[in-house]
């Protein structure tokens, strides 16, 4: 079998790189003598003209630095202030600047030139996420004919949203240079096929195949999973280590864990919790919401705004309902180690995973995997998370509907143990069948 060459924006660092993608791809990379390439996270004065090898680790890794301008225009600019809001249904937050697009293309061209000399005829190339959409196009320009697959970790927009992007047609053309475009959910496949036809002016050949001259590509859903068995074991071990005092015998714990991103719907969740408390005085002092939300992409205006809004809302709800023994919301603005999160998921009676739009949402999967199957907690899941297509045994909600969310909170807190066990068994079966190993196998088999 030929080598796998994997590209993502950030390279997994450290002597023992970790994270979902490393678990998914680590074995194939080490078995095929494969390579992972990505940015180092460091800033250089001038663009790199060659790749640097990262020593150690179970597979070969090469990285390069971005310049200050590239970080600003390619990463914070086109990737995070144009594509991210567009792909999450927030065209109103897009910041269209020609400089952003120019640098985005330049960086992708530079990466293509850096990696092209190391590609051998039987290598397969797997490109990850929205930072690298034009990479296959740039590699084809350099004469690379190898199979190239792309996986988008976010949702994909339909033609109406794509019209808001001045270079929408070009994005479709970039995609057509991949042999396989993997998306998280069937809804994204439908949106992508429609955009490729209406915006890209391609022809739908059926079965997910699109012809966009001069190329043909296949678009299909590969919902990403987690390392389910490992996470269950971790949570069972870690719950024992939680500091005493976190759990109170007469108080249920609801948990929310999300980067502080406007796509995650944290303000909507807080408002619904406020509505729940307003309606159900009998639950005062008997339930609290632990919301763990480290800030991300600081300095981008939309992220500063969401931080202010959530701080304001949690303060208001606590001010309205708290008493000397109880604060309804604990809002933590920093990352928490993965193993502590696993223990907290297992200790919680309810998880609130209510994004307004999300590619998949791994927190939903981690929460289910972390439960004690004898006495499991209940997952409240937004219909707009990609995970909702697979996790139909969760309590599905519309995060815009505050009253429905408040009702679902009561349903979750009051659910019988029998029903909780039944729903959990069905959810866990799905996560076990379609875990992260299944996902990478399915994608690479389809890439052929």
Closer residue to ligand ADP, CB minimum distance, 279 or 330: 330
Active site residue 268: no
Closer residue to ligand ADP, CB minimum distance, 258 or 393: 258
Distance between CA atoms of 159 and 168, rounded to whole angstroms? Answer: 9
Closer residue to ligand ADP, CB minimum distance, 259 or 307: 259
Treating both helix axes as pointing N-terminal to C-terminal, what angle do 362-370 and 417-433 enclose, rounded to 10 degrees?
A: 120
Closer residue to ligand ADP, CB minimum distance, 129 or 393: 129
Distance between CA atoms of 385 and 291, rounded to whole angstroms? Answer: 18
Closer residue to ligand ADP, CB minimum distance, 66 or 257: 257
- In the complex, least distance from residue 359 CB atom to ligand ADP, rounded to whole angstroms: 7
What would the DSSP string read from start to end of 8-66? EEEPP-SSS--SHHHHHHHHHHHHHT-EEEEEEEEEESS--SS-EEEPSSSSEEEEEEE
Beta strands in 123-170 (DSSP E): 124-128, 148-151
Count of Cβ atoms closer than 10 Å to residue 324 Cβ? 5
Which two three-digit tokens encode residue 322?
């708290």
Annotated catalytic residue: which of 88, 128, 131, 153?
153
Q: Is the peptide bond before 214 cis (omega within 30 degrees of 0)?
A: yes
Angle at 185 between CA 179 and CA 186, to 5 degrees: 85
- In the complex, least distance from residue 61 CB atom to ligand ADP, rounded to whole angstroms: 21
Among 135, 210, 143, residue whose Cα is nearest residue 174: 135
* 152 in Cβ contact with 178 (< 8 Å): no
- In the complex, least distance from residue 193 CB atom to ligand ADP, rounded to whole angstroms: 24
Q: Which residues bind ligand ADP (CB under 6 A)?
A: 257-259, 292, 294, 335-336, 341, 360-363, 366
* 339 in Cβ contact with 234 (< 8 Å): yes
Task: Provide Rg for the chain, Cα atoms.
Answer: 22
Closer residue to ligand ADP, CB minimum distance, 14 or 294: 294
Closer residue to ligand ADP, CB minimum distance, 64 or 270: 270
**What is residue 341's three-state secondary structure?**
helix
- In the complex, least distance from residue 384 CB atom to ligand ADP, rounded to whole angstroms: 13
State how beta strands 395-397 and 378-382 pair.
Answer: parallel
Closer residue to ligand ADP, CB minimum distance, 176 or 361: 361
**What is residue 134's three-state secondary structure?**
coil
Distance between CA atoms of 384 and 157, rounded to whole angstroms? Answer: 13
Annotated catalytic residue: which of 123, 227, 261, 358?
358
Active site residue 358: yes
* 150 in Cβ contact with 178 (< 8 Å): yes
Closer residue to ligand ADP, CB minimum distance, 64 or 384: 384
First and final CA of the chain: distance in angstroms? 11
Distance between CA atoms of 417 and 427, rounded to whole angstroms? Answer: 15
- In the complex, least distance from residue 439 CB atom to ligand ADP, rounded to whole angstroms: 13
Which two three-digit tokens encode residue 183?
């998306």
Three-state SS letters, 256-319: EECCECHHHCHHHHHHHHHHHHHHCHHHCCCEEEEEECCECCCCCHHHHHHHHHHHHHHHHHHH
- In the complex, least distance from residue 55 CB atom to ligand ADP, rounded to whole angstroms: 27
- In the complex, least distance from residue 321 CB atom to ligand ADP, rounded to whole angstroms: 24
- In the complex, least distance from residue 363 CB atom to ligand ADP, rounded to whole angstroms: 4
- In the complex, least distance from residue 284 CB atom to ligand ADP, rounded to whole angstroms: 27
Say which DSSP state 387 is in: G
**Active-site residue numbers?**
153, 358
């Amino acid at each position: 079998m030929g080598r796998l060459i994997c590209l993502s924006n950030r390279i997994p660092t450290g002597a023992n790189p970790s994270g979902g993608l490393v678990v998914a791809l680590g074995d194939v990379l080490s078995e095929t003598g494969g390579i992972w390439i990505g940015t180092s996270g460091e800033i250089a004065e001038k663009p790199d003209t060659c790749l640097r090898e990262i020593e150690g680790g179970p597979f070969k890794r090469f990285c390069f630095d971005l310049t200050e301008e590239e970080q600003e225009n390619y990463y914070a600019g086109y990737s995070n202030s144009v594509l991210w809001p567009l792909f999450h249904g927030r065209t109103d937050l897009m910041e269209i600047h020609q400089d952003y697009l120019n640098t985005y293309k330049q960086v992708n061209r530079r990466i293509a030139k850096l990696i092209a000399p190391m590609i051998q005829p039987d290598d397969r190339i797997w490109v990850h996420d929205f930072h690298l959409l034009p990479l296959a196009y740039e590699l084809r320009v350099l004469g690379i004919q190898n199979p190239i697959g792309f996986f988008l970790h976010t949702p994909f927009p339909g033609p109406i949203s794509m019209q808001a992007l001045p270079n929408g047609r070009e994005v479709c053309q970039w995609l057509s240079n991949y042999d396989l475009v993997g998306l998280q959910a069937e809804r994204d496949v439908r949106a992508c096929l429609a955009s490729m036809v209406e915006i890209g002016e391609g022809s739908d050949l059926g079965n997910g195949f699109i012809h966009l001259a001069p190329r043909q590509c296949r678009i299909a859903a590969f919902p990403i999973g987690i390392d389910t068995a490992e996470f269950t074991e971790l949570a069972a071990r870690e719950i024992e280590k939680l500091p005493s005092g976190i759990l109170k015998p007469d108080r249920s714990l609801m948990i929310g864990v999300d980067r502080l991103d406007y796509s995650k719907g944290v303000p909507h969740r807080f408002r619904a919790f406020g509505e729940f408390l307003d309606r159900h005085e009998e639950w005062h002092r008997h339930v609290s919401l632990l919301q763990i939300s480290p800030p991300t992409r600081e300095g981008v205006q939309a992220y500063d705004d969401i931080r202010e809004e959530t701080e304001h809302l949690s303060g208001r709800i606590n001010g309205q309902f708290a008493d000397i023994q109880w604060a309804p919301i604990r809002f933590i603005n920093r990352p928490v180690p993965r193993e502590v999160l696993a223990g907290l998921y297992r200790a919680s009676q309810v998880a609130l995973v209510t994004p307004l739009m999300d590619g998949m949402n791994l927190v939903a999967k981690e929460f289910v995997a972390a439960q004690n199957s004898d006495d499991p907690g209940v997952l409240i899941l937004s219909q707009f998370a990609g995970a909702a297509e697979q996790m139909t045994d969760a309590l599905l909600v519309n995060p815009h509907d505050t009253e429905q969310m408040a009702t679902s909170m009561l349903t979750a807190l009051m659910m019988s143990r029998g029903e909780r066990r039944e729903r959990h068994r069905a959810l866990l079966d799905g996560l076990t069948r379609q875990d992260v190993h299944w996902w990478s196998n399915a994608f690479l088999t389809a890439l052929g």
